Every structure is written in structure tokens, then in C-alpha cells.
Structure 1
Amino acid sequence: MFTIKQMEALYWVANLGTFEAAADYLNLTQSTVSKRIGELEGHFSTPLFDRTSRKAALTSTGRDVCEIAEEILKLNNSLIEIAKAQAGAPRRFRLGVTDLIAYSWLPELLQRISDRYPGMTLEPEVELTSDLLSRLAESKIDFIVCPRASHHPLVTSLPLGSIEMAWMCHPKLGLQGRLISKEELTQHRILIQSRGSVLRPMLKDIIDNPKLKFKSTVNSNNMAALAELAANGLGVTVLPSAFFRRYVDEGRLCVIKTSIEIPPLEYFVSYREDYNAQFLKEVTRLCEAVSTF
């Protein structure tokens, strides 16, 4: 098996011209350098150096091997630089979030990461929670923010904050400013998260309750789409109130008070513990700084 030490010996003997000069540069004895070259030459049928001349001249095979050795040493140096980089930062960072994070504080998070780690290639993804958790477990993504903790043995999940959920609709439906009964609420169309959404289990007692027969149901995994539908007067919906405050301020949505309470939605950051741990802890701190929970 070839080693980095053998590659170093070959490269520096070839470039400095003598075994003695290479040994001095590598802070080794000349016999150690000669031994490494001999071990390397043992893998080939012809010598790598022409030992008939005073200077260590490469043979044709030696030149071919030395070119490859130079590339190997460059790649090894790149790996060393990555290992020494600030907080073990990778060159490529795959970050996954749900749609709610994507259209709220994800842009600021990406900007802060870019400012702190210039030159890093950021690859953000917006997916459903179930898809993010699966991709993280399979090492197809590095870091996720979603409303569910991972139970994978190699994954760390930390609570980031919780979001208050609220019933909302367009003011023209006339449901604001008073307590709305279940009977009155069900006279309207419900705009609700579909089965792939993490909110679905939270809303099970509403959606799958035979005593709550809404006029009709529209399903979507996209909260922004549900907000837009509700803002156009097409029904009632459940949304994170803080994230859609602008809609309320603009008069496009209003919060409804009902006897059907919705529990808060808790978000987590999750990442694998087997690589770049320090860097991922730093990203977690950035999430805590920019999140609007």
C-alpha cells in the first residue's frame, strides 16, 4: 500500500535533486528517505530513479509516478487545511428547513453563515419534516431545522423554540372579536395541512373528528398557500400567528378566538454528531440568534 510519507520522499528527492537534500528538508535521516523510496519502488517493476548519475534523476516511470504523487500531496494538503479550518467548517454545507423557516429567517441565517465562512458553498433545501429527517439519517444533508426531533443514535436534536398557532380568516367572514363556537366555525371551509405535514397529528382532533363536519376541506403542505387562500376569504385556517402578523397588520387576515385550542408548535435543530461537530454547534448558535420564535 502506498503512503503519504513515500509520496513526500519521492517528490522532494525529485525536486531537490539528492536524497541528502530531501532528508534535510523533511527533517529525516538519509537512510529513512532511502528506505521510503525503496518501499515505493518495490511496487513497480522498474526503478523510479536513475542511480548511475550523481543527481537523483527520475526514470520515465519515476516521472509518471512523481506527477501522481504531487497531485496526492496537494489533495492531502487540502484535507489538512479543511481539518484546520475555523470550527472545522466544511467547504460545502447542506442545510434543510421547512417552508415556514424558508420564508421567514432563513435568508438572514444564510447571510450570517456566508459572512462568517466566506468561500463556503451553501446548499439550502426546503422540504417536508419527514423528508428532512430521512435525509439527515442517511447523511444526504448536514443540518436541519424542523418541528420534530430526530431519534437517530448519531443525531443530536436541540429545541430551538416554539410557535404559537392560531385560527385565522379574512375579516369579511365576520368571525373576529368574539368567541366562535364549534358549530359556527364548521359552517366554513377549512384550509388545513395535508397528511404529510408535521402539523397533521396536532390537528387530528379537528380534522378527523366526526363531530366537526366542516363545510369542505382544502389540504396543502404549504403554509404560505394556506395563508393566501384564507386571505382571499376562501375559508378558515390554522397558522403560526407571529409569522403571518404582516397579513393581520395589513387587514388581510384576522385571528379568531374559538373553544378549539391549538398547542404550540416546537422546532428543533438536528445534526449528525460524527463530523464537523464544532461547526454545526456554531450554526446552532446562529439559528438561536436569528430565529423569530
Structure 2
Amino acid sequence: MLLPSLENLACFDAAARTLNFRTAARAVALSPAAFGQRIKQIEEQVGAPLFDRTTRRVQLTPLGLAMLPRARQCLAIAEDCLRSAMSPAPAPVELTLGTRFELGMSWLVPQLGKLTRRRPEVTLHLYFGASDDLLRRLHDRSVDCVVTSARWSAASLAAETLHEERYAFVASPKLLQREEFSRPEHAARHCLLDIDATMPLFRYLADQMGGVGRFAFARHRWVGLGAAMKTLVLAGEGVAVLPLHMVAAELRSGKLQRLLRSAALARDHFRLVYRRDDPRSALYAKLAESLRAVPIQ
């Protein structure tokens, strides 16, 4: 079956609205003869008249009345189709983002609703893991991207910078009442708490003060999570370098104190890391823009 053209349907709709062929012809920018030919073509396709025409009036036939709502629906769909092509909505996409437990729970999870509103086309799944695990999963494509401040050297990875990561060397006041820590040599009286031996946070202080060799701690304890480090420091079980956003409230309230205040700790940046060969780099740039708009508390 030969379908009517959209132009002919538009002429039919104009004639039905005005019930005057000359007026309808002007509305669609056609001559009366050309307009009449369009109506004739669609009537031939239907196989019956759509209008009763006399020298005095034009009326829709029962067939024309029955066809009119569907014709207008077709025209509306065609207009919507064109509009969607001119301003296409972003295609929906699902991403799995890996991050460390503390950062995910304190920053990303509370902001998921806001991120969804800013990027409704993106469904963001979360995976929590240690830094080396996250980078390994990024390489084997178990996750699509990673938010981390960990350092890497793989040329196969690309990154978008998000927020500055600052650190503080801290202890509880009750621990400092027992044993002071005002000089590097006082490390011999204390236990250092840290993530693990491969990614120690203490390096952000030691690297600025001549290396780890300047600090001979009585012992080390690796506890795997910044949240565990913070809990133990608050309990007076050791000293630690922790992300400033994790301990800012405790420093303000006096539950924790800074150590070696004159020492400047190194700084880092959280980055959104993804595989360089991933064709969705533009999407990661937009996601990074949304993440930069969400401050780390």
C-alpha cells in the first residue's frame, strides 16, 4: 500500500481546519491548483472523497472526519521525530565506578541523588575496594572508571582531575598527654597507624621531611581503611596521617590535634581515572564536571 506523503497530510489538515481551499492553500504556501492536486492525490490513495465541495461550501465527508485525528497524529509524530533529531536526548548509559570505602560512603553515596539529577542519562553503579584492587579491576575492565588519589604510571590510563586531597598528621589529646610528639625523634615512643605497606599515607609527611628514615616508630600497624585508622587514633592507639576531610570536624572540636605543625604535608588530587582506549572519554569529562561541583565534606 502506497502511503500518503506528509505534505499531502498537511494539506488535508489545513483544509479540514479552514474548510476553505484557497485559505488552506495560502496557509501551506501553495497555489490553489497545486493545493487541489495534493488533495486529489490523497483522495485517490484513500479511494474515496474526503471533502464534499460545492461552489458555496466545503465539508468533510464521514471518511474525512474519521481520518482527521489519525492524520494529525501522524503529523505530530513527524514533528516530534524531527525535533528529537535536531536536539537529541543523551543516550542512557550504565557505568560502574570504583572507589575506596571511606570516600564512597562519605562523599559519593550521599550525592548519588544529586548526580542523577545532573546527569539523568547515567546510571552509576558503585564498587568499593582498595587502591591496588581498583586499578587492577580498571585494567581488566571489571569497572569502567575509578575515583582515587593513588599514584599510577600506566600509560594506558587517562584521568580527569576532581578535587585537591589534603592531609593532616594527627593524634588524640589523651595520647599526647602520655607521650609528646613535637619532634621527629619522638616517633620512637609511638605506634604509626596506616593503610598498608604498599600505599602508606604517612609518605605525605615523610617525603616532605627527608624520608621515612627520619622516623623510627616503636611499631607500625596496618589497618586497611582510613576509617579504621581514624577510630584507632581517636581511641589513643596511635598516630596517623589522614585525609583532612576525614578529620576536619574532630580537629575543630579538639578531639584530635595536629602533630609537627610546622611541617608541610604533600598534597594530592582525587582523579576520575579511566582507560585511555575507552571511547566514552567525553562522557567521563561530563561526569568529572558533575563530581567537581560536589565538594568533598
TM-score (normalised: structure 1)? 0.61
Shift of 1:168: 0.3
Alpha-carbon contact 1:189-1:215 (below 8 Å) kept: yes
Alignment-mate amino acid for residue 127 of structure 1: G
Aligned equivalent of 2:218? 215
Map Cα deviations across residues 87-124 of structure 1 (whole Å, 9 max, x no partner). 4440x220111234213321244222322455854320
Q: Measured at CA, do residues 171 and 201 of structure 1 come closer, stay the same or move farther in structure 2, by a change above 3 Å?
A: closer
- Structure 2: gaps of 5 or more residues: 5-83
Q: Distance in 2 between matches of 1:195 and 1:179?
A: 23
Q: Measured at CA, do residues 284 and 198 of structure 1 come closer, stay the same or move farther in structure 2, by a change above 3 Å?
A: farther
TM-score (normalised: structure 2)? 0.60
Q: Measured at CA, do residues 126 and 182 of structure 1 come closer, stay the same or move farther in structure 2, by a change above 3 Å?
A: same
Q: Distance in 1 between matches of 2:296 and 2:143?
A: 23
Shift of 1:242: 3.0
Aligned equivalent of 2:286? 282
1:181 maps onto 2:183 in alignment:
yes
Alignment-mate amino acid for residue 259 of structure 2: I
Look up the SS of the partner of 2:245 in the other structure: coil
Shift of 1:275: 3.3
Aligned equivalent of 1:36? none
Q: Distance in 2 between matches of 1:217 and 1:149?
A: 22
Map Cα deviations across residues 118-149 of structure 1 (whole Å, 9 max, x no partner). 58543201112222222222222122110136
Task: Give identity over the alignment, percent.
Answer: 22
Alpha-carbon contact 1:150-1:270 (below 8 Å) kept: no
Q: Distance in 2 between matches of 1:200 and 1:179?
A: 15
Shift of 1:226: 0.3
Alpha-carbon contact 2:167-2:204 (below 8 Å) kept: no
Q: Distance in 1 between matches of 2:202 and 2:128?
A: 18
Q: Distance in 2 between matches of 1:121 and 1:254?
A: 40
Q: Measured at CA, do residues 237 and 210 of structure 1 come closer, stay the same or move farther in structure 2, by a change above 3 Å?
A: same
Look up the SS of the partner of 1:291 in the other structure: coil
Aligned partner of 1:271 among 265, 271, 274 = 274
Alignment-mate amino acid for residue 226 of structure 1: M
Q: Distance in 1 between matches of 2:147 and 2:233?
A: 26
Aligned equivalent of 1:11? none
Alignment-mate amino acid for residue 263 of structure 1: A
Map Cα deviations across residues 249-287 of structure 1 (whole Å, 9 max, x no partner). 333211112566531132211123533333322211011
Q: Measured at CA, do residues 200 and 87 of structure 1 come closer, stay the same or move farther in structure 2, by a change above 3 Å?
A: farther
Aligned equivalent of 1:248? 251
Q: Distance in 1 between matches of 2:197 and 2:141?
A: 25
Aligned equivalent of 1:130? 132
Map Cα deviations across residues 229-262 of structure 1 (whole Å, 9 max, x no partner). 0000111111122331122233321111256653
Map Cα deviations across residues 15-74 of structure 1 (whole Å, 9 max, x no partner). xxxxxx3x759xxxxxxxxxxxxxxxxxxxxxxxxxxxxxxxxxxxxxxxxxxxxxxxxx
Q: Measured at CA, do residues 258 and 251 of structure 1 come closer, stay the same or move farther in structure 2, by a change above 3 Å?
A: closer
Q: Measured at CA, do residues 181 and 117 of structure 1 come closer, stay the same or move farther in structure 2, by a change above 3 Å?
A: closer
Alpha-carbon contact 1:157-1:270 (below 8 Å) kept: yes
Q: Measured at CA, do residues 154 and 138 of structure 1 come closer, stay the same or move farther in structure 2, by a change above 3 Å?
A: same
* 1:63-82 matched pairs, under 5 angstroms: none
Look up the SS of the partner of 2:189 in the other structure: coil
- Structure 1: gaps of 5 or more residues: 1-20, 26-80
Q: How many residues align?
A: 214
Aligned equivalent of 1:160? 162
Q: Measured at CA, do residues 196 and 89 of structure 1 come closer, stay the same or move farther in structure 2, by a change above 3 Å?
A: farther
Mean Cα displacement is larger for which, 283-292 or 247-256?
247-256
Alignment-mate amino acid for residue 286 of structure 2: E
1:169 maps onto 2:171 in alignment:
yes
RMSD: 3.5
Alignment-mate amino acid for residue 234 of structure 1: E
